[in-house]
Structure 1
Amino acid sequence: MLNIDPLISRLEALSEPSRNIDGHIAGLLGFKRRTVQEADPRTGETKVREVWALPTGEAPAIVPSYTANLDAAFELIRTVAPEAAFGCTWHRGFGRASILGSVSVQAATPAIALCIAALKHVQSRQSNA
């Protein structure tokens, strides 16, 4: 069983979106990080960089901006809770999100709240398994 408590805590502490956290969420979903070597076409110098690959294979991927983009956060929920009804709001300076019958959370933005709700849903399913 995967312990996602530290990632949930980091999300709850966010005051703004974080690409670093997006990467951690992608890792939980099965995205793979690889190191590739490429020759710079101008200098011929070999450079090493990290790239992400989709969970379904080795195809390069851009990690979705889960913590910044509502569409990406919605897709996260649909991935971890395809059967669930969910929603989010912006209320009195905070984002709120809930998954019907599971969790209701508050965070700095609605997208971050959706990420927290998604991970807490996964956590509750792991606890009940």
Structure 2
Amino acid sequence: MRPSVEVASKHSRGFGIAVENGSLKAGTYGHLPPAEGLIFMKLDELLKELENATGPSRALDAAIGKIVGYKRKVEYRRSSQTGEPVRKVFWVVPSGEDYVRMPAFTGLLDAAIDLATTIVVGCRGGVSYVDGTATARINNGPYFFGATPALAICIAALSTRLDSDD
């Protein structure tokens, strides 16, 4: 007997999301130390890191942001409590001068889908999560796998960019 698959949502931006037996759980970010080296990696190196990731990572989110054009800005501001300088990292969106918190591409489906629709013109795709593995496909491209649906979408979207850079 085949397990039941339910459509968890039909995203308005062209992504269908399927979950087997309701087993999809939202990813959570652990308390990871900042991985400054990840920010400066090449796209093929980033894809390998995403494929090996076991869950969401703010360091990988920052690396994805740099690849797609976010600019990093560091300022030192005085702490209101101690008066000592405190390091603050801001991100400038690719399309302007607005400061934002880096989207959680690897942890939130909406952020991953926004990434895909930004990178791939006319993006249509789907993602499924079965037995602890997520699978994503964009347009008529190949299937990509990740530990979570958001990671699989990020891998699929960034892989289309790798193909276009060849």
TM-score, scaled relative to structure 1: 0.90
Match of 2:62 among 8, 13, 23: 23
**Amino acid aligned to 2:149:** P
Higher helix share: 1
Deviating beyond 4 angstroms after TM superposition, the runs of 4 or more aligned structure 1 residues are none
Cα distance in 2 for partners of 1:21, 1:111 equals 12
Q: Which runs of 5+ in 2 are unaligned?
A: 1-40
Could you tell which deviates more after superposition, 107-116 or 40-49?
Answer: 40-49
State how 1:1-129 maps to structure 2 within 5 Å. 3-127=42-166
Could you report, residue by residue, the CA deviation over 1:23-44 in whole angstroms, capped at 9, with x for unpaired residues? Answer: 0001111111111121222333
Return the offset for 1:48. Answer: 2.5
Shift of 1:3: 4.2
- Residue 80 of structure 2 aligns to a residue whose secondary structure is coil
Greater shift after overlay, 5-14 or 49-58? Answer: 49-58
Range 23-32 or range 39-48, more displaced: 39-48
How many percent identity over aligned positions? 33
Amino acid at match of 1:31: Y
Worse-superposed segment, 68-77 or 35-44? 35-44
Deviation, 1:98, is 0.3
| Unaligned stretches of 5+ residues in structure 1 | none
Q: C-alpha root-mean-square deviation of aligned residues, in Å?
A: 1.5
Contact 1:66-1:111 at 8 Å conserved across structures: yes
Q: Deviations over 1:71-114 (max 9, x none)?
A: 10110100001312111001222000001222311111111000
One-letter amino acid of the counterpart of residue 56, structure 2: P
What count of residue pairs does the alignment treat as equivalent? 126
